[in-house]
Structure 1
Amino acid sequence: MVTQILRVAFAFVGIIVGAGFASGQEVMQYFVAFGVDGIWGVIMSAVIMSVMALIILQLGSYFNAGEHGGVFRRVSHPVFSKILDIGVVVTLFSTGFVMFAGAGSNLNQQWGLPLWVGSVLMVLLVIAAGMLDVDKVTTVIGAITPFIIIFLTLASIYTLVKGTLSPIEQLDAAAGAVSTTLPHWSVAAVNYVGFNMMVAVSMAVVIGGSMFNPRVAGRGGLVGGLILGFLIIISALTLFVSVEEVGQDDMPMLTIINQLHPVLGQIMALVIYGMIFNTALGMFYALGRRITAKNPGRFRPVYVVTVLVGFVLSFVGFRNLVGYVYPILGYIGLLLIAVMIVAWVRGRVRIYKETERRMRIVDLLEIGREGSLTVADQAKLRKEIEESNLDEEQIKAATKKN
């Protein structure tokens, strides 16, 4: 069970830790911009994130979900369900073209290349990869996530212990010079969770749906949320104590890594670029599949067109896009948070009973595989399956995977 929980936890972290987070720009605008008060926002955000990860993954498991739309339709009013579905589609597209802007900023800051070079190269990579087996591509690129965690932790430890901390008042004033479109640290904290849930919900639901035991899925989400909360906290503290030096950079965390060691800076730039590729590919691929769900044969031309449209929109600039697009999506995400919390609170007793029921089903199936299932046990197994919210075929398929 521990192995399954950790597998779910790291998968969830891998969804969230994308280019915006890895670069430090998200944390800078959402938290550091509010100075000392922003640290309270970080803690608040980390707590809400952990709870929401538990809820979404557990609901995905309970409904044995294969995609987010089915869960939305089951837990909310049709109007809200439609709004959320549209919101997720918009999020996929918006996050995708923000990544193109980030690709340009990344290579520009590290090697002085024109902004369009990094963006054009990313567009070509994303289009080419979209024509191939995307599962293999994203699996390979997904391996970059542990490096991001290591680099962020390393940079934070170095920055926090090097002993050149300016007075808090001075840092607070410097943080106030960081531009943000958000009105208050508390709004920023909830908005940040809302945005990340909009980005993560589609894949998180699928991850939860692949787990037969809702308890394992929920605990995996909780652990993943706590790991993510830890990363957000150390990133925010690191950027806050360095805000005088990196507050106006597009890639502030990259600047800190370069200060740690130039070679590490070169590697970090490549790692961030890989995360950008991973995020952009995942967003546009999911968007293309969603748009062409009723006509899969049109996927490739639709995919290419959406990527090119995203490329054009990316010229607004990475920092501006993070500052304006992300908060808008975050406000839509507040509806997602509310819907999921209400659904989980109302259904928590049913989820608990279903969890116990599935554990009994697994135990009985295991006995059956050993050939020692009595007539009474067979009757009990049939009764448990009949009372489950899943049908017999779903249970058979799920227990084979687990």
Structure 2
Amino acid sequence: MSNEKSFSMKTLLILAGSYVSFGIGAGFATGSEVLQFWAPHGLPGAVGIIISALLILLCIAVVSRDCRKYKLASMDMMYRHYCGKYLGLAINWFNTLTFFLMVGSMIAGGASSMNQAFGLDTRIGTVIMLIAVMATALLGMKKLTAILGNIAPIILLAVVVICVYSYINPTDSFSTGDMLIREKSGLSMSGSLIFSAVLNFTYVVLNMSAYSANVSTRADHQKELVWGNVLGQFSAALCQIFVFLAFVLNASVVGGTDIPLLILGQRLGGAFYAFYGIIVVLATYTTATGMAWVASSNIQREDSKWYKLVVAVVCIGAFVFSNFGTFGVLMNIVMKAVSYLGVVFSVCVIVSKIYRYVKESKEGVKA
């Protein structure tokens, strides 16, 4: 009698929800990611989101399957599997650097959100963010991240409310918004729609593939893991389109801004604006703390005597980086760094799959 558990739709839905929750952080809550990737392209940006989502769905399905098949239970194991010992190690450490830079951009984002929503001086805001992030990361983030991650459903619900209101009370028509959002796009990832789609794909797939490796043991069946991640990415793409169309319909208000969703939230009244301001600050805080923990624990394990010193160095260094520019500028730098690193990783996945297919085919012929 087999001890294998039966396929569980409940597990699939839980994994899909976890995927979405992991992907929804400060970049989504502020709206900066959506704006910088797609605003320069106007309404066709929605097509770019679909192209990117299809590429991500394909890659995530492949990586999820391989993580389960080859027992790749960590980010480091996954990078080594696809990229080889030395390139995999290099990508792992460069990715650690991007986590560090992300901490800095989130500190800047939290300070900017506090300034925009509550009028707090950004210099004071960065110090508050530094203290909060360092204090939390020093405690160890494994348990606390799971608790703080519950903010994702609140972010989603609040964003839906903002977008629905923005659809009902737009400042611009689709045709006018299409023109304005292109003109006021400000910082962007690329002037080419196709290249933006590719960069968005590589930006997402690098970290979501690492997530797939970390949760590969949570499913009893390969189908649960693969389809859970596919459903999660499909839902994330729909959310992006939903938000982007709200931006187009309100381009005269949000075009070229750092935190467009917070600006749209202001139109719902002072109470909601304050509420969403708190949500955005919490989102940047939880994202920064999680990234600080990942960067620090990749250098020194949490149970190491050097861990706390590493956390302090990472957080203080990130604080220094946060003063190099506005939240939008720093996010643009980090997103480009992650995207181009993701290009290298994606090429490695393709080459690795071709190599293993050819090798297994030859072995099959010999057998």
- The Cα of 1:143 is off from its aligned counterpart by 0.8
**C-alpha RMSD of matched pairs (Å):** 2.4
Residue of structure 1 equivalent to 2:226: 218
Q: In the TM superposition, what are the counterparts of 1:89-238 in structure 2 within 5 Å?
A: 89-162=96-169, 164-166=171-173, 168-169=175-176, 171-179=178-186, 180-238=188-246
The gaps in structure 1 that reach 5 residues or longer are: 351-402
**Is 1:310 matched with 2:321?**
no
1:43-68 deviations in whole A, cap 9, x for unaligned?
A: 21222232333233332222333311
Give the secondary structure class of the aligned counterpart of 1:319.
Answer: helix
- The Cα of 1:334 is off from its aligned counterpart by 1.4
Residue of structure 2 equivalent to 1:322: 331
**Within 2, Cα distance between the matches of 1:222 and 1:134?**
27
1:340-381 deviations in whole A, cap 9, x for unaligned?
A: 34545776999xxxxxxxxxxxxxxxxxxxxxxxxxxxxxxx
- The Cα of 1:200 is off from its aligned counterpart by 3.3
- The Cα of 1:140 is off from its aligned counterpart by 1.9
Q: Which has the larger displacement, 168-177 or 279-288?
A: 168-177
1:163-208 deviations in whole A, cap 9, x for unaligned?
A: 6542514532443221224231211122122122333333331112
1:258-285 deviations in whole A, cap 9, x for unaligned?
A: 2123222211111111111111111111
Residue of structure 2 equivalent to 1:277: 285
**Is 1:332 matched with 2:341?**
yes
Give the secondary structure class of the aligned counterpart of 1:131.
Answer: helix
Kept in 2, the 8 Å contact 1:87–1:329? The answer is no
TM-score by length of 2: 0.88
Q: 1:240 to 1:43 in 2, by over 3 A?
A: same
- The Cα of 1:106 is off from its aligned counterpart by 0.6
Aligned residue identity for 1:160: Y
Match of 1:28 among 14, 32, 35: 35
Residue of structure 2 equivalent to 1:400: none
Give the secondary structure class of the aligned counterpart of 2:256.
Answer: coil
- The Cα of 1:229 is off from its aligned counterpart by 0.6
Give the secondary structure class of the aligned counterpart of 2:94.
Answer: helix
Larger radius of gyration: 1
The gaps in structure 2 that reach 5 residues or longer are: 1-7, 360-367
Q: 1:225 to 1:167 in 2, by over 3 A?
A: closer
Q: 1:173 to 1:246 in 2, by over 3 A?
A: closer
Kept in 2, the 8 Å contact 1:23–1:272? The answer is yes
Residue of structure 2 equivalent to 1:363: none
TM-score by length of 1: 0.81
**Is 1:256 matched with 2:264?**
yes
Alignment length, in residue pairs? Answer: 351
Q: Which has the larger displacement, 255-264 or 277-286?
A: 255-264
Q: Which has the larger displacement, 197-206 or 224-233?
A: 197-206
Q: Which has the larger displacement, 152-161 or 313-322?
A: 152-161
**Within 2, Cα distance between the matches of 1:34 and 1:305?**
40
**Within 1, Cα distance between the matches of 2:103 and 2:159?**
23
